[in-house]
Structure 1
Amino acid sequence: MKITFTLDTIDKAAEEILSQCQYKTLLFYGEMGAGKTTLIKSLTKALGITQTTGSPTFGIVNIYEGNGETIHHFDMYRLKKEEEAFDIGFEEYLTSPYWNFIEWPEKVSSLLPTNTTKINLKILDHTTRLCTIDNGSNELK
């Protein structure tokens, strides 16, 4: 499924994305500046999280809780090697019943479960993004 959105329509897009997800582990692909973190903020809002959310680039993982939901938000950009994910207990997060939002999943590709939803963001212009949603194996098609 494909969804085109802008900042003005991102909250509606987030609700549509969540309605299409078959799995609670979402992998966010896209170049730097594509809006992965911004989309995740809207997804957490759509799930009822009211606390401030932001990029976990330096801490690698942020945990958000509220409205009966728990979300683990990972940013793997700074990992130099895949094994560094073990230092934060990554495999334990993945076996939890909670939401896992993972930016830069290609950095930990061999550690990812099979049942994931891939979210690929593409920059169409300075205000518009194309989001492709794929529920399947952990290889982005």
Structure 2
Amino acid sequence: MTYTQNDIEQVANELITKATSRTLCFYGPMGAGKTTLIKSIVNALGGADAANSPTFGIVNEYHHTDGEILGYHFDCYRLEDETEVLDLGFDEYLDQDVWVFIEWPEKIKTFLPEDNFPIHIAIIDPLTREITL
């Protein structure tokens, strides 16, 4: 699926529909738009929070407009060792019945659930991205 920023809401809705798991793993180079796509997905799911990258905090929590937890957003880019994710209580986040969005999942591949839904984003040009599921 190829898209531009103008199509991002439609892409987000389509990904929600196609996802076979609530754990979405976003693969792609820096600047591919992983966080931007996650923002759109959180919005499409009825998120009350403005999604942003948890680069420095590693994990963000998002809520529905009714206050219930919608999901968690992990940015594993800064992790030096994949076991660091265990110090964050990663397994406990996964045990909840909520959405989990993971950027840079290749940095914690040993701890990813088997039923995760991988989303690969490639940069085609400065305005165009391609998703492979």
TM-score by length of 1: 0.90
SS in 1 for 2:60: strand
Quote the residue 1:16 is aligned against.
14
1:95-134 deviation digits (Å, cap 9, x = unpaired): 211100000001100001100100000001100000112x
1:60-99 deviation digits (Å, cap 9, x = unpaired): 0000001455110000000000111111101111121110
Amino acid at match of 1:92: E
TM-score by length of 2: 0.95
Quote the residue 1:33 is aligned against.
31
Is 1:105 aligned with 2:98? no
Q: Percent identity?
A: 48
Amino acid at match of 1:35: G
Contact 2:74–2:101 (CA under 8 A) maintained in structure 1: yes
Contact 1:122–1:130 (CA under 8 A) maintained in structure 2: yes
Contact 1:29–1:104 (CA under 8 A) maintained in structure 2: yes
Contact 2:61–2:69 (CA under 8 A) maintained in structure 1: no
Q: Matched residues in 2 for 1:60 and 1:36: separation?
A: 15
Q: Matched residues in 2 for 1:93 and 1:87: separation?
A: 12
Question: Which 4+ stretches in 1 moved above 6 angstroms?
Answer: none
What residue ranges of structure 2 are gaps of 5+ in the alignment? none
Q: Matched residues in 1 for 2:115 and 2:80: separation?
A: 25
The structural deviation recorded for 1:50 is 2.7
Contact 2:28–2:34 (CA under 8 A) maintained in structure 1: yes
Q: Matched residues in 1 for 2:69 and 2:9: separation?
A: 18
Q: Matched residues in 2 for 1:30 and 1:104: separation?
A: 8
Coordinate RMSD, CA, aligned: 1.0
Q: Matched residues in 1 for 2:50 and 2:16: separation?
A: 20
Contact 1:47–1:69 (CA under 8 A) maintained in structure 2: no
Contact 2:79–2:107 (CA under 8 A) maintained in structure 1: yes
The structural deviation recorded for 1:9 is 0.7
The structural deviation recorded for 1:52 is 1.4
What residue ranges of structure 1 are gaps of 5+ in the alignment? 134-141
Question: Which deviates more, 18-27 or 64-73?
Answer: 64-73
